[in-house]
Structure 1
Amino acid sequence: MKQRQEMSEREYFAFIGRRPGMFVGKASFHMAAAFLAGYEGHAGRHGGPSLLTGLDEWLVAHRGRDCNHGWPGQILHIALPHGWENMWDLPPADEQRAITVLFELLDAFLAEREATACVRRPE
């Protein structure tokens, strides 16, 4: 019998990022962010690893500017440097750009965290 291979967190979120509408109903930045927050909440409640711990600080360092927004607002600032009129009703091109940047930044954050964890592991 063939064993099932599990996806890493990075693989799982890359998979979701390719087709977010399959997971959240409507492919929207806010629905994708809510999905990630729900995933984080479930992991915390059930003793799983934290996905988003440190993401706020990482985004501030990545952006080079302090910001009082949580990670969703910071990602919108990075994805849409020209700003927006109504963050809850983004034009389709901005919506798609924000979703793409969300999953790109999440992958970069998780990759950096994995690399740091590998360096710190005692042999």
Structure 2
Amino acid sequence: MTITITNYRDLFANIRKRPRMWLIREDFASVVAFVEGCNQATARTLLTGFQPWLVAQAGCLNNHAWWSIVAHLTEPIGPKNVRDMDPDLDARTVESLFDLLDEFLELRDEHDGMNRIFAAHEQWYRLREQNGCSATDAPTCPTVRWPRAASRIKPNTPTLDNNH
């Protein structure tokens, strides 16, 4: 029997609601392993653009894996060992990951979503180079407005482009 998953947003929402139905453990490391497995199963296309989108949001960490940036966005202070987080931080990081994945996948499916993701990352990268902070992830490095899915933009909120 072949199972075809056509909507990863729905899959991840189901995992979020009933993690023990899908995972041995409910911790961040297990969720990351599952999501990365889904990415591998799609020939690494599922998460195309996710890391650059997270970098534009974080304003740093261009050389980090996506899961490391999610941990940083959840708790920006201090290094994180994803296999040894305190239970509260671990649970918050799992929630952040599901929130970020849902918005990213929604944005990516919009007609210009991928272009907006990579344009924001490119803008961030250019500003970083211009300000001389390309050698480090210094907190003084510039940030850009990261692209949001259309359903998540509040009225009168400035965006990177005039389409939303």
Which range, TM-score by smaller chain? Answer: 0.7 to 0.9
Provide the rounded CA distance (Å) in 1 between the counterparts of 2:72 and 2:97: 11
Size of the alignment, in residue pairs?
110
If asked which structure has higher relative contact order (CA below 8 Å, sep 6+), I would say: 1
How big is the shift at 1:83?
2.7
**Counterpart pick for 2:52 among 54, 57, 61:** 57
Q: What percent of counterpart residues are identical?
A: 35
2:16 maps to 1:21: no
2:63 corresponds in structure 1 to 68
How big is the shift at 1:42?
1.6
TM superposition score normalised by structure 2: 0.60
Q: Which deviations, in whole Å up to 9, do the C-alpha atoms of 1:75-115 show, x marking residues without a partner?
A: 00001123356432111101100100001000010011112
Maintained 8 Å contact 2:50/2:66: yes
How big is the shift at 1:8?
2.3
**Counterpart pick for 1:103 among 94, 98, 103:** 98
Provide the rounded CA distance (Å) in 1 between the counterparts of 2:29 and 2:81: 12
Provide the rounded CA distance (Å) in 2 between the counterparts of 1:9 and 1:87: 23
Unpaired stretches in structure 2, ≥5 consecutive residues: 116-164
Q: Decide whether aligned partners of structure 1 residues 8 and 64 sit closer, same or farther in structure 2, where only a CA change above 3 A counts.
A: same
Unpaired stretches in structure 1, ≥5 consecutive residues: 1-5
TM superposition score normalised by structure 1: 0.77
Maintained 8 Å contact 2:52/2:62: no
Maintained 8 Å contact 2:28/2:82: no
Deviates more, 1:13-22 or 1:52-61: 13-22
Q: Decide whether aligned partners of structure 1 residues 82 and 19 sit closer, same or farther in structure 2, where only a CA change above 3 A counts.
A: farther
CA radius of gyration, larger in: 2
How big is the shift at 1:7?
6.2
Q: Which has the higher helix share?
A: 1
**3-state secondary structure, aligned to 1:116:** coil
Aligned Cα root-mean-square deviation (Å): 2.3
Q: Decide whether aligned partners of structure 1 residues 114 and 37 sit closer, same or farther in structure 2, where only a CA change above 3 A counts.
A: same
Provide the rounded CA distance (Å) in 2 between the counterparts of 1:112 and 1:87: 26
